[in-house]
Structure 1
């Protein structure tokens, strides 16, 4: 069979290496899913995510006509939010009714200024 870039195909995992997963597309053609194409974000260990004999739907990324190597992708078939665990939304506990702004600083500034001037005058004596 002739494989084309952008084609979605089903294959069988034949081997797992630290750098990627080998997938048999038919009896004579095998492709590689590089670790960077196995999922969105950080991929911890491929042998925990895949098993030999597992059926996968993959997308053909590249076909090298000279070496006949086929690059495959799982990541291209899924949206990022489908593969990543859902994050809990953070809620920041703030009281929005208190609107102090710079008022406390403005209230204390004359006292700070007076104390600083007194300290400077005492050092100068």
Structure 2
């Protein structure tokens, strides 16, 4: 059976280099599995993942005009299906917490909240103006 792009075949590792592994394919042809195509994780040392004479499933990802065959172990592995996350149900209905208050009560609540926020802003502004106790040259006052 001829080697075709996209086909998954079983091969044997014949050599390991610092840039990848050479894989002997069933027809006697040899292809290269680059280090970036060995695993989904970062591979610092390929010999921690592969050994010589190890049987591996590889996917043929390219064949250049000179006959060099590029292989991928990671693309040959079947990945588990992703969990489909259900969309979050959002209640877009507006909740009116003050529905049972009359106008005067709502106004007094608004004024109280507004005054509290205004006081907090003033307090924060004073703290910012004071600084951290050092002058511009970094010397304590």
Q: TM-score range by the shorter chain?
A: 0.5 to 0.7
Match of 1:55 in 2: 55
Structure 2 unaligned blocks of 5 or more: 82-115, 130-141
Find the counterpart in structure 1 of residue 77 from structure 2.
Answer: 78
Measured on the aligned residues, the alpha-carbon RMSD in Å equals 3.0
Larger Rg: 2
Q: 1:21 to 1:108 in 2, by over 3 A?
A: same
> Normalising to structure 2: TM-score of the pair?
0.56
Q: Does the 8 Å contact 1:11/1:24 carry over to 2? A: yes
TM-score normalised by length of structure 1: 0.62
How many aligned residue pairs are there?
Answer: 95
More relative contact order in 1 or in 2 (CA 8 Å, sep 6+)? 1
Query: Secondary structure, in 3 states, of the residue corresponding to 1:59?
Result: strand
**Alpha-carbon distance in structure 2 between the residues aligned to 1:115 and 1:16:** 65
Return the match for 2:120 from 91, 94, 108. Answer: 108
Task: Give the secondary structure class of the aligned counterpart of 2:9.
Answer: strand
2:9 and 2:127 map into 1 onto residues whose CA distance is 78
Q: In 1, Cα distance between the equivalents of 2:36 and 2:20?
A: 8
SS at match of 1:75: coil
Change in 2 beyond 3 A, CA 1:46/1:81: farther
